[in-house]
Amino acid sequence: MNIKEKPLTRTRNSPKVRAVDQEIEPEAVGQVEPETNPLAWLTVEMVLIALIVIVGAGLRLWQLGNYPLSDVEAQQSLVAFQLANGEAIQSTNYSPLLVSLNGLAFLLFQDSGATARLASVLIGTILFLLPLTLRRQLGPAVTLIASALLAISPTALFLSRTVNSEIAVAVGALMIFAGFFNWSDSGQQRWLYLAAGGVAVALTAGPLGYSIIVIFAVVILIKLAAFRQLWDQGLSLAAANNDIESETASDDATEAVDRFPAALKQAGLFLLAAMLILSTAAMFNLSGLSVTTNLFMEWVSRFTFQPRLDGGFNAVFLLTLYEILTVVAGLVGLTFALLSRDLLKQSLAGWFIGALILDLVMIGRPTGSVILSLVPLTLLAGLALSTLADNLQQWGQWGNEGIILAAGVIILGFGYIGLTGWLVRVCGADDRFCQLAWLQSVAAVALFLVIVFFFGFVQNDAGISLRGLAITGVVLGLIAIIGFGWRLNYGRLENLAYQPLAGIPASTEVIDMMDTLSEESLLRAQDNHLIDVTLSGATPALLWQLRNFKNVTPTGSIITPPNTTAVITLTADDEQPNLGEAYIGQDFALNSVWSPVGLPAKELINWLIYREVTQRPQRGNQAILWLRYGAG
C-alpha cells in the first residue's frame, strides 16, 4: 500500500487530528461491491399476488370436467372440435374467439369436457389479475382486494369454468379500461397495445362486446371535457417518451397530436391484426370473419319484448344472490366514487351503472352477462374495503372492534344454527314452539346490534360501532360467498339446476345414457365407440357426447330409418322404431329446468342458504335409447 505524508489541513467541521495525515492513493483502493439483497423483490405484496394466483388458478382447474357440457357450452365446443379435426364448420352461431382458443386446446390436448373449458380458465385467470394493472391509479391495497375478490367470486369462478363468451368480453372491457388510464398516465406504448387488444377481444368474443362499447362511449360523452384533457395528457407524455421536448409538447397539444400519429397507427394496426387472428384462428377459420361482423346484429336482436329461451336472470338478482359481500361493499365504494373528483373512479361508477341498466332492458340477456356489472362493482368494493382497512389500522383496537367481531361471529353463528334447525324440521299444526323457532335467529341479530350500540355508547365513539359492524359483515360475507361458490362450482350435479347462474344445465341422466351406450358398444362391437347409431332430434349436448362414436347416422325420423345395420337408435321423441324387429327403449333427460319463482317462504329461505329444495327439477329435453333384441 502506498502511503504519503501531506500537510495538516483543518476545516470547520473536522476534529483535531495528528500532524501527519495519511492518504490512500486511488490505485490502492479496492473495488468494494455494494451489498445487494437477492430477495429484495420478495415483498409482502408479491407474496399476496402469488397466493391469489395459486388459489384462483387452482379453484378454476380443480374438477374442471366434473359436470357434462350444457347445450350452450356444447354448441361452442362442437365448432372448435370440427375446426381442430379439419371438418367443415356449418354453424354460424358461435364465438370466434372461443372457437379459436378451444380449437388450439383440442389440438394440444385430448378432447374432453375439461379441455373445452381450458380457454375459459385462462381468460378467467387473466380477469382476476388485470386489476393489478391499475395499481398506480388505485393503490396496491385496492387492486389486491379486487383481485382476491374476483379470484374467489362465485360468479367469476363459475363463468371461468364453463364455455361462455361473456367472461372474455369482461376481460376485453378491463383491458380497454386499464390500458387507456395507464397510457394517459404514462404515455407508454404498451398500454395502447393493451387497450387495442381489449377491443379485439371484446368484439370477437361475443355480442355483448357492443354493450361495452356503448357503455364506455356514454361515459366519455358525459365527462367529455375531462377525457379530452386526459387524452391530451397522454399525447404529451407519449411525445416526451419519443424524444420530443416535454415543454413543447405540454405547451402545444395540437403539435403533439401532429407529431405523434405513429404510435396511434401502430395501435390501430395491432387492433386489426389481433381481430383477424382471434376471429379466424390465425386464418384457419375464415368463416369467423363473417360471424364476427354478424355479432352486432346478434346484440341488437337481444333487445326484444319476448323472452328468449337462452335468456338468463337479470344482474341485480344474480349479484344479490351470489355476491352479497361485493354488493354491499361495492355500493359503499360507488358512493365514494360518485362523490370524488377522480375521473377513473367516476368512470368505474359509470361502467357499473351503465352495465346494470343495459342488463335490465336486455330481455334476451345471456346468463353470463352479470359479469359485466360484477367487474366494476368489485373494483368499487376494493375502494370501500381498503378504506375500512385503513380506518381499522389507524383507530381500531382489539379491545373494541375485536370484541365486536368475536361476539358477532359467535352470536350470529348461534342464530344460523337455530335457523337451519327450523328449516330441516317438519312442524306440526299444533307445535307453536317449532313454528316460531325462527325467532331464535331474530333474537341473535337483535342481541348483536345491542352489543354494537353498547360499545359505541360506552366509548362515546360511534366509529367503534360502525367499524365493528363493518368488519363483522366482511367476515360473514366472505364466509357466505365461499359457501355459495363451493356449492355452485363443486356441488352435486343433481343440484346444479337449483343454481340460476347455471341456466339450463345438463342432467345426471346424460352420464347414465352414455355409460349404457358405451357398455352396449363394447359388448356388441368390442369397442366403446364402434356401435352403429341412428340419431334423430339431437341437441348440441347430445352431439357432443356422441362426437367420438364412429358410426352415427342422422335421420329425420326413425319410423323409416336409413338402410343401416344400426342396433341402437337415439331419438328426442317417443317414436317407435319400425324395422320389423323388437326394440326396448329407455328415456333419459338431457337437461334440467327449475326456477325459484313461487316457492313457499320456508323453502325459499332454505334454497337461499343451501341452494337445494325438496322439489325436484323438471326434466328438459329427453332422449330415448332403443335397444334391439338379439342383436350381436
Using CA atoms, how far apart are residues 60 and 125, in angstroms rounded to an integer? 8
* 316: CB partners within 8 A, 6+ apart: 356, 359, 360
Give the pLDDT confidence of 236-263 residue by residue, as tens digits.
Answer: 888 887 754 444 444 445 554 454 567 7
* Domain ranges (residues) in the chain: 44-388, 396-502, 508-628
Q: How far is CA 344 from CA 220, 489, 515, in A?
A: 11, 33, 54
pLDDT at residue 241, as a whole number: 76
Strand bridging mode 583-589 / 618-619: unpaired
Q: What is the grid cell recorded at 3?
A: 502511503
Three-point CA angle 297, 299, 301, nearest 5°? 70
Flag whether the pTM goes above 0.85: yes
What's the longest Cα–Cα distance across the chain? 126
Strand bridging mode 592-593 / 552-554: unpaired
Using CA atoms, how far apart are residues 32 and 28, in angstroms rounded to an integer? 12
Using CA atoms, how far apart are residues 530 and 524, in angstroms rounded to an integer? 9
Cβ(548)–Cβ(529) below 8 Å: yes
pLDDT at residue 31, as a whole number: 55
CA-nearest of 540, 589, 594 to 78 is 540
Q: How far is CA 605 from CA 23, 314, 321, 518, 599, in A?
A: 86, 20, 12, 42, 9
Helix 262-280 × helix 96-108 angle, to 10°:
60
DSSP strands (E only) in 559-607: 568-571, 583-589, 592-593
CA-nearest of 568, 572, 553, 555 to 626 is 568
Cβ(113)–Cβ(81) below 8 Å: no
Give the pLDDT confidence of 434-482 residue by residue, as tens digits.
Answer: 878 888 889 999 999 999 988 888 877 888 999 999 999 999 999 999 9
Q: What is the grid cell recorded at 39?
A: 430477495
Helix 403-424 × helix 462-490 angle, to 10°:
40
Q: What is the grid cell recorded at 408?
A: 358477532
Give CA torsion, residues 316, 321, 327, 331, to 10 deg. Answer: 40
Using CA atoms, how far apart are residues 365 and 308, in angstroms rounded to an integer? 8
Using CA atoms, how far apart are residues 623 and 604, in angstroms rounded to an integer? 32
* 126: CB partners within 8 A, 6+ apart: 171
Using CA atoms, how far apart are residues 612 and 489, in angstroms rounded to an integer? 14
Q: What is the grid cell recorded at 88?
A: 367443415
Strand bridging mode 622-628 / 568-571: antiparallel
Cβ(405)–Cβ(457) below 8 Å: no
Amino acid at 537: G
pLDDT at residue 598, as a whole number: 83
At residue 333, the 3 state secondary structure works out as helix
CA-nearest of 400, 406, 390, 407 to 464 is 400
Return the residue matching grid coordinates 357450452.
Answer: 73
Using CA atoms, how far apart are residues 488 and 501, in angstroms rounded to an integer? 9
CA-nearest of 179, 180, 185 to 237 is 185
Q: Which parts of the chain have pLDDT scores under 70?
A: 1-35, 243-261, 307, 309-310, 556-569, 571-582, 629-632
pLDDT at residue 581, as a whole number: 60
Cβ(625)–Cβ(521) below 8 Å: no
Q: Is the dihedral of CA 524, 525, 527, 532 positive or negative?
A: negative
Beta bridge partners of 628: 583
